[in-house]
Amino acid sequence: MNVERHVSVERLRLKFAAAHMATLGDELEPLHGHNYLVRCRVDGALTSDRWVIDFGALKTYVREVCDFLDHHFLLQERSPLLEVVLDGDAWAVGFQGRSYRFPAADVRALPIENTTAELLAEYIAERVAERLKAEGHMNITRLAVEVEEMPGQSGGYARDLA
């Protein structure tokens, strides 16, 4: 019998406030922000200590990413619809004749195509997966992250870890 267990963390500083402007079809949302909440779940076998992972360790890994994103403009650096250029100490963003300029220190240029909740969840999950691997959590077999933009509205990402 193959048994796996899981650990979930949420709330308790697993949040970030950030601005963004996602693309929807051929349109660009107005610049706006959210107070995002993050949930993370890992599945796996019990360790010799009889837990999947220490809650504190998992919270730390998620919190590090949240802190990195907190109080920044989230820029979808790989957007096929936006013209994105790092110009000295500022990011220049163009879209259908409109132009924006953001101080580089206020921007998190993310290697994603859009700043949707689903892709933000994937970005966070991949950073957490890197930490899990680096810290030797080889018993963990699956990772899932959910990003809530507002109450009742969230996007998620999950994948097996091998």
HSE-up (13 A, CA, CB side) for residue 160: 2
Identify the CA nearest to 109 among candidates 80, 142, 85, 133: 85
Measured CA to CA in angstroms, residue 21 lies from 2, 58, 106 at distances of 44, 29, 15
**5-160 classified as CATH 3.40.50.1370:** no
For the record, the structure tokens of 133 come out as: 């691997």
* 46-77 pLDDT, tens digit each: 999 999 999 999 999 999 999 999 999 999 99
Domain boundaries, the chain: 5-160
For the stretch 107-136, pLDDT in tens is 999 999 999 999 999 999 999 999 999 999
The pLDDT value recorded for residue 1 is: 65
Q: Which residues share a beta bridge with 153? A: 150
Structural tokens at position 25: 């079809």
Structure confidence at residue 162 (pLDDT): 76
- How crowded is the C-beta side of 81, counted as CA atoms within 13 Å? 17
Helix (H, G, I), strand (E, B) or coil at 77: coil
What is the SS3 assignment for 33? strand
What type of residue is 2? N
